[in-house]
Amino acid sequence: MRNMTGRPVSEEDFFNREAELADLWRKLETDHILLLAPRRVGKTSLMYKLMAEAPQRPDTYAIYLSVPDIDTELEFVERLYRAVLESPQATSRLSRVWDTLKSSSIGKFFNRIESVNLAELFEIGWREAKPEDWETLGRELIHALRKLESRWLILVDELPVFVLNLIKQDPTAARARTFLYWLRQMRQMPPPEGERLRFLLAGSIGLDTVASRYRMGDTINDLTIKTLGTFSPATADQFLATLGEDYGLDLTPEVRQRICERAEWLIPYYLQLFFSGLLEICSDERAVPSVEMVDEVFEVLLSHGRRSYFDYWHQRLTEELGSPQDEWASALLNACSRDAKGVTRQTFAATLSRHVSDTNQRDETLNWLIDVLIGDGYLVEIEGRYRFRSSLLREFWHRRFAQ
């Protein structure tokens, strides 16, 4: 297993999560899934693992598309087409997909192409597509996939970011609602064709909180919600022990325990950051890892040169919430960061009262902001107090924004 701190993992670098994978496959037998997981928990890596396991299941094909960087519905549909076209697992089925498309109502885009080169067919045919064609183009592809006697799993990553991009262009959210309704219709089809396709939608921003804010909950109420949590303490310890063995670094039980204490939020990303720091120190000094070194790594991770590990947590508030709600959320986090034990709801209410004077509006806004901050991985509620999930993130936030 390699020390990976910058991108999703796959193959031998993927660790554990057997129970989560088994549960997802079980639910996908009957349901479409909304996978909720804060940033860096391992959501994308889990989706990669589902892709890798699909060929081991009877006549099952999986495609993956990530959509945070697109702004139009036609781009979404194009990316869906490309995911099918580029799927190494589905190559033997693609000719039947395109034959179905050429005989469908959108055949005008493809039927003049005689070449058997599917990539060429797509590139030439797509040039004729217009922005308003997205619904029909997408629907015909989904129907073509369903006509095959196979099971298809469509994994869509960072869908909430794309939905927010649509809302930025149309603040009424009508355009986003139309898209989400269309996607819901694509999931709804009676047996037997309806049983041949499953969607798994995910994002580091919760699609449920976005839908709730813009009163679009009915567009996703057919999805089964699954969450991806942290490693258990035992799994985190095993994860660190495995990394140490594979790198020849002697991580004693005391050192592994200290890493877990300082990381607090036991997700692979933070554990990998601590291991990377220890590896760097020990490589430079030819030393044996110690508890004191773990504390040194904690400080290094919070240094100015490592800000990129955490700055996104602040930036994403603006991306998700917009002004002035991003400022209000920051104010709540500032207040929370000053005490490792967290704060009460009363403290949050008093903090928000400086920004929202109307009592009813303040209560409604506070409920929503707390839901967002918990759902997106900033905070956790323990015994009536709200605190940061991660001591690393809390300390970063306090030093960077709250002092």
Are residues 142 and 156 in contact, defined by beta-carbon separation less than 8 angstroms? no
CB 341 within 8 A of CB 385: yes
| Residue 8 is assigned to a structural domain of this protein | no
Whether 67 and 185 map to the same domain: the answer is yes
Domain end residue (candidates: 261, 278, 301)? 301
* Residue 42 is assigned to a structural domain of this protein: yes
Q: What is the pLDDT of residues 221-259, one digit of tens each?
A: 999 999 988 999 999 999 999 999 988 888 999 999 999
Q: In this structure, are 86 and 199 located in the same domain?
A: yes
pTM of this structure? 0.85
How many separate domains does the chain show?
A: 3
6 within domain boundaries: no
171 and 92 together in one domain: yes
Q: Give the model's pLDDT for residue 359.
A: 87
Q: Is the model's pLDDT at 121 over the cut of 90? A: no
Distance CA 93, CA 275 (A): 44
Beta bridge partners of 13: none
User: Residue 284 pLDDT > 80, yes or no?
Assistant: no
Bridging pattern class, strands 379-382 and 385-388: antiparallel
Q: Are residues 48 and 139 in the same domain?
A: yes
- Domain assignment of residue 4, yes or no: no
CATH number at residue 337: 1.10.10.10
Q: Name which residue leads in pLDDT, 315 or 255.
A: 255
Is 110 within the bounds of a domain? yes
Same domain for 172 and 103: yes
40 and 62 co-located in one domain = yes
109, 205: one domain: yes
Together in a domain, 120 and 260? no
Radius of gyration for the alpha carbons in the chain, expressed in angstroms and rounded: 24
Q: Containing domain of residue 282, as a range?
A: 233-301
**CA-CA distance, 315 to 19, in Å (whole number)?**
33
**Residue 208 domain-assigned (yes or no):** yes
| Residue 200 near residue 155 (C-beta atoms within 8 A) | yes
281 lies in the same domain as 134 = no
pLDDT of residue 142: 86
Q: What CATH number does residue 117 fall under?
A: 3.40.50.300
**Between residues 378 and 147, which one has the greater pLDDT?**
378
- 60-100 pLDDT, tens digit each: 889 999 999 999 999 999 899 888 877 765 556 666 666 66
**281 in the same domain as 147:** no
Residues 260 and 124 in one domain: no
Contact 144/97 with Cβ under 8 angstroms?
yes
Per-residue pLDDT tens digits for 333-384: 999 999 999 999 999 999 999 999 888 889 999 999 999 899 888 999 999 9
